[in-house]
Chain A
Amino acid sequence: MTIKKHVKTGLSALALSISLNALAAEDPIKVGILHSLSGTMAISESTLKDTLLMLIEKQNAEGGVLGRQLEPVVVDPASNWPLFAEKARELLAKEEVDVIFGNWTSVSRKSVLPVVEELNGLLFYPVQYEGEESSENVFYTGAAPNQQAIPAVDYLMNEIGVERWVLAGTDYVYPRTTNKILETYLKSHGVAEEDIMINYTPFGHSNWQSIVADIKAFGSEGKKTAVVSTINGDANVPFYRELGNQGIDASDIPVVAFSVGEQELSGIDTAPLVGHLAAWNYFMSVEGDANYEFIDAWVDYTGNEEAVTNDPMEAHFIGFNMWVDAVEKAGTADVDAVKDAIIGVTVPNLTGGYATMMPNHHITKPVLIGEIQDNGQFEVVWETPSTVAGDAWSDFLPGSMDLISDWRKPLACGNYNVVTHSCGGAEEPAE
């Protein structure tokens, strides 16, 4: 009989706790935070959780939003992709949060996407990604490929005179898509097939010996060579170490990385990296009062004098402020109202400019190229003259060059085909 009892009490307790929570006070506005605090992604995501808690604390100290306090709801999806979907459902259905800030990897976003759409939630996604997506319920505050990869390649091609390209990445969808886009882009600029080398490695790859030897051989053919790296997270340290040890330094073969920021560098002996490049929309070293204020707040919040800030943190900073503005503009935290109100909202970014939410749910960003310094910071060597608007659908992929996204009424379509004049993939075709 004991099993029965166990199961029964377990079930009813579960049911009870769920319904009680649903009934709980409506007063504060609930903000869901969906970042991994354990597992492989904790390394990147846990600071984003703290960033949000800091922003929420500050907002509450200033009186909250619409006179209501913000209440953070933190859950741990534990770097487990199905768990992301489950936790998103928990946040939306059980905790009834008004907005979610979260996710880092593409797969976790893909896992959460159907849930957010089904339950009509709001998700702010702060990381640079592959594009090829536009959801009514998701706001992409990180860079699309045209806000990071293409300007970086332009810089190498025009300023450094690179003629031979190694596209090295971890084997998942972001590097695959980015490299596809870059390959088309490079070829359209007259780079020959044999001057492009593409290489994929698994997650956490640590034995780079032969790949680096290949790169070295590839780069010794007399043409200026550069590596465009979409290598993810943990694999970077052994990669740069091997580069340094095999005697490749930044003046021979520069590496421009899209996934190496201040936080990653804080865990690396930076000596072999000096002079290599990264392309982001924010660097901690950018000078300006907005940035200084943010850094000071972050150092105070963490209590760590050497705490660093990075690009996804800025994306959350922008996303959070945009959401606050939109809620105030709409006069309610209701998802549909905020979704409409937020388009066109403009807030200051941390690099001295402004970010605007575009109708395709992407934002405008400046693109900065920085050289890595020995203290783990970047020195900006180049930047785009003005901000670049994120492009949800790449112009360099055959499947998506005819698609645009515009969530304003009456179009309200994430993948409108300008050739066939139909909203492809939507439930009701336009014909």
Chain B
Amino acid sequence: MSILRLLTGLLLLLSLSLPAGVYAQSSDSEASALLQALADSSYAQKQQVISDIVSSGDERARTWLEAYADGKLAQTKDTGAFVFVLSNRGRDWTVADALSGDTIGEMSRRNIDRIRINNALRKELEGMLSVIDLTVDDADTRLAAARALKGEVDAALAERIGTLLDTEADDDVHDALTEALAIYQVAQGEVAAVAVLSGSLNPQARVALNNAAQSDNPELAAAAAKALESIQTKLKINSAAETLYFGLSLGSVLVLAAIGLAITFGVMGVINMAHGELIMLGAYTTWGMQQLFPGQPGLALILSIPAGFLVAALAGIAIERTVIQHLKGRPLETLLATFGVSLILQQLVRTVISPLNRSVVTPEWMSGSLMINEALSLTLNRLYVIGFALVVFAGLMLIMRKTRLGLEVRAVTQNRAMARSMGIKATRVDILTFGLGSGVAGLAGVALSQITNVGPNLGQSYIIDSFMVVVFGGVGNLWGTLVAGLSLGTINQILEPWAGAVLAKIVVLVFIILFIQKRPRGLFPQKGRAAEG
């Protein structure tokens, strides 16, 4: 945190906190000159220009700087006018006048010269904005700003924080500011401040304590070492919780990918090698929905849930009608035919859509993470996927246990001939079961589109893992699939930190091989006559 940044920030703060109207707009020519200086200067000089812009007191300063930080401030080559870039896709961009704010319309990107910014400058700008944010009304904004200041405090800012602390009403913000200040004080050698940092999970606090523990002052070093010790224990607990979360998250992905297979493979005995491609169809449906509803990724995602289910279910039913029904009583051959289907579907996507990956946007409410404490945050997209997996699982259990269809499916699985003689239309049950399993694969695709690539190879990367999960859990048992998926995911994540990603996976595979020796029919073997199929 440089003095310059603080000063600039304070000036900006001043300019914004004054009643409207006091600061008139500077003339357009003055404004242009300022922006021209920003465009022409080198990165090293730009800091000075930024503070000039702020001290000009122009009320548009903040808009300019925000646009600049976003990389949206530009200059046209032909007229030298300054513009905001509103849309920057393709060869023609939509722009607005930076001085008046009026939309100008489309312009060739080649006529547009963006005013360059790099990470260092962006960070400076963000720092200025966070100093301003310390005094806004919204407590959440203040909290975020206060947190951002940890490890960034210098002498001038420390003084200012000291005065802010007297008036700060919100406890969380107060604590965060105190800690930010304490980090600075510990670095300055104040022993008393160590107590504030004791037990803090903030990495910057840890850095400050680590440095203090090496200090020449024995009193400070001892206090810091003690504080560090208490932090270490807390960190261990948090990292264990984090590993568990990672495991559950990986596990829920495995469960989602495998559970559709558990139905078609486990219940119907069809080895569906095209299962991965049905997942892929679900993911592409999400992409398609986002194309239909541009700018509303959240809505598109929610609509994709039924749409993805339907698309995959219909594709599954089509496969069942055209291929699988001709292979009755030859389940292993379904493996071969559906392998062919999977090749066709993959190439179809490559030919019709593109061999390239498609970009699926993550909605705002699924980005970022849920902060439990400063050492443990749960990534939101994965949290949603865990929840989604559990909901899908519960829904399936409900269908299988509580509905007529579920009853019929179970009857046909256990004894096809007997079920038919009881009046169950086995063909209809086959179609619906296969449709259900495929539809669930589509749902998995919708979820996976938020985690990984949407491309023609998506399905292939999950098919083998899915088979492992179903077999490990015990064919024909949905609970088995759930437990198997979650436990394999967790084992993998526990192993990963010390074995590395590849070795962890190998160990899990060897574990499955050995486990099957112990329990040749998986975790939850099917009982009764159906097991001897």
Q: So, do A and B actually touch in the complex, CB under 8 Å?
A: yes
Any B CB within 8 A of the CB of A234: yes
Contact with B along A221-261 (1 / 0, CB 8 A): 11000000000001001100110111100110010000000
Any A CB within 8 A of the CB of B296: no
A271 pairs with B367, CB closer than 8 A: yes
B357 pairs with A209, CB closer than 8 A: no
Any B CB within 8 A of the CB of A185: no
B347 pairs with A38, CB closer than 8 A: yes
Q: How far does the Cβ of B291 sit from chain A's closest Cβ, in whole Å?
A: 12
Docked complex Cα distance between A204 and B453 (Å): 10
A246 pairs with B359, CB closer than 8 A: no
Contact of A237 among B91, B118, B204, B453 (CB under 8 A): B453
Closest residue of chain A to B93 (Cβ to Cβ) is A375
Q: How far does the Cβ of B162 sit from chain A's closest Cβ, in whole Å?
A: 24
B456 pairs with A42, CB closer than 8 A: yes
Docked complex Cα distance between A171 and B381 (Å): 27
Contact of A246 among B114, B120, B369 (CB under 8 A): B369
Contact of A211 among B210, B461, B501 (CB under 8 A): B501
Closest residue of chain A to B70 (Cβ to Cβ) is A374
Q: How far does the Cβ of B283 sit from chain A's closest Cβ, in whole Å?
A: 12
Docked complex Cα distance between A267 and B358 (Å): 4
For chain B, the bracket of interface size reads 35 or more
A245 pairs with B453, CB closer than 8 A: no
Closest residue of chain A to B489 (Cβ to Cβ) is A207
Docked complex Cα distance between A222 and B151 (Å): 9
Any B CB within 8 A of the CB of A305: yes
CB under 8 Å from chain B, chain A span 245-286: 245-247, 250-251, 254, 263-264, 266-272, 274-275
Q: How far does the Cβ of A53 sit from chain B's closest Cβ, in whole Å?
A: 15
Docked complex Cα distance between A287 and B112 (Å): 10
Any B CB within 8 A of the CB of A340: no
Q: How far does the Cβ of B200 sit from chain A's closest Cβ, in whole Å?
A: 13
Any B CB within 8 A of the CB of A201: yes
Closest residue of chain B to A288 (Cβ to Cβ) is B110
CB under 8 Å from chain A, chain B span 72-102: 88-91
Docked complex Cα distance between A47 and B88 (Å): 23
Docked complex Cα distance between A210 and B247 (Å): 9
Using known A-B contacts A210-B243, A247-B369, determine if residue A40 contacts B457 with beta carbons closer than 8 Å.
Answer: yes
Contact of B451 among A206, A210, A244 (CB under 8 A): A206
Contact with A along B449-473 (1 / 0, CB 8 A): 0011111110011000000000000
Residues of B within 8 A of A375 (CB): 88-89
Docked complex Cα distance between A376 and B89 (Å): 9
Contact with A along B112-143 (1 / 0, CB 8 A): 00101011101100100000000000000000
Residues of B within 8 A of A250 (CB): 119, 122
Residues of A within 8 A of B114 (CB): 379
Docked complex Cα distance between A151 and B457 (Å): 33
Any B CB within 8 A of the CB of A427: no
Residues of A within 8 A of B360 (CB): 269
Residues of A within 8 A of B377 (CB): 246-247
Contact with A along B197-214 (1 / 0, CB 8 A): 000000110110011000
Any A CB within 8 A of the CB of B249: yes
B71 pairs with A373, CB closer than 8 A: yes
Residues of A within 8 A of B253 (CB): 207
Closest residue of chain B to A307 (Cβ to Cβ) is B90
Any A CB within 8 A of the CB of B250: yes
Contact with A along B201-237 (1 / 0, CB 8 A): 0011011001100000000000000000000000000
B379 pairs with A271, CB closer than 8 A: no
B90 pairs with A305, CB closer than 8 A: yes
Docked complex Cα distance between A250 and B117 (Å): 13
Contact of B122 among A246, A263, A275 (CB under 8 A): A275
Any A CB within 8 A of the CB of B434: no
Contact of A244 among B357, B367, B492 (CB under 8 A): B367
B505 pairs with A42, CB closer than 8 A: no
Residues of A within 8 A of B505 (CB): 202
Q: How far does the Cβ of A372 sit from chain B's closest Cβ, in whole Å?
A: 10
B361 pairs with A220, CB closer than 8 A: no
Any A CB within 8 A of the CB of B395: no
Closest residue of chain B to A268 (Cβ to Cβ) is B359
Contact of B126 among A213, A238, A251, A379 (CB under 8 A): A251
Docked complex Cα distance between A206 and B283 (Å): 15
Residues of B within 8 A of A267 (CB): 356-359, 453-455
Any B CB within 8 A of the CB of A23: no
Taking each of B123, B356, B382, B497, which has the highest tally of chain A beta carbons within 10 Å of its own beta carbon? Answer: B356
Using known A-B contacts A247-B369, A267-B359, determine if residue A234 contacts B206 with beta carbons closer than 8 Å.
Answer: no
Contact with A along B493-518 (1 / 0, CB 8 A): 10011001110010000000000000
Residues of B within 8 A of A171 (CB): 502
Using known A-B contacts A202-B502, A210-B246, determine if residue A245 contacts B91 with beta carbons closer than 8 Å.
Answer: no
Residues of A within 8 A of B367 (CB): 244-245, 271-272
Using known A-B contacts A209-B250, A210-B246, A246-B377, determine if residue A43 contacts B455 with beta carbons closer than 8 Å.
Answer: yes
Q: How far does the Cβ of B488 sit from chain A's closest Cβ, in whole Å?
A: 12
Using known A-B contacts A42-B355, A373-B71, A374-B71, determine if residue A238 contacts B453 with beta carbons closer than 8 Å.
Answer: yes
Any B CB within 8 A of the CB of A160: yes
B457 pairs with A43, CB closer than 8 A: yes
Q: How far does the Cβ of A268 sit from chain B's closest Cβ, in whole Å?
A: 5
Q: 22 A-B contacts, Cβ less than 8 Å apart?
A: A42-B355, A46-B355, A202-B502, A207-B253, A207-B501, A209-B382, A217-B203, A222-B210, A237-B453, A244-B367, A245-B368, A245-B379, A245-B381, A254-B119, A267-B356, A269-B360, A275-B122, A295-B91, A371-B119, A373-B71, A374-B70, A381-B118
Chain A interfacial positions (CB closer than 8 Å to B): 37-38, 40, 42-43, 46-47, 160, 171, 199-202, 204-207, 209-211, 213-214, 217, 220-222, 234, 237-238, 241-242, 244-247, 250-251, 254, 263-264, 266-272, 274-275, 287, 292, 295, 299, 305-306, 371, 373-377, 379, 381
The 4 closest A-B pairs by CB, nearest first: A267-B357, A220-B203, A222-B207, A245-B379
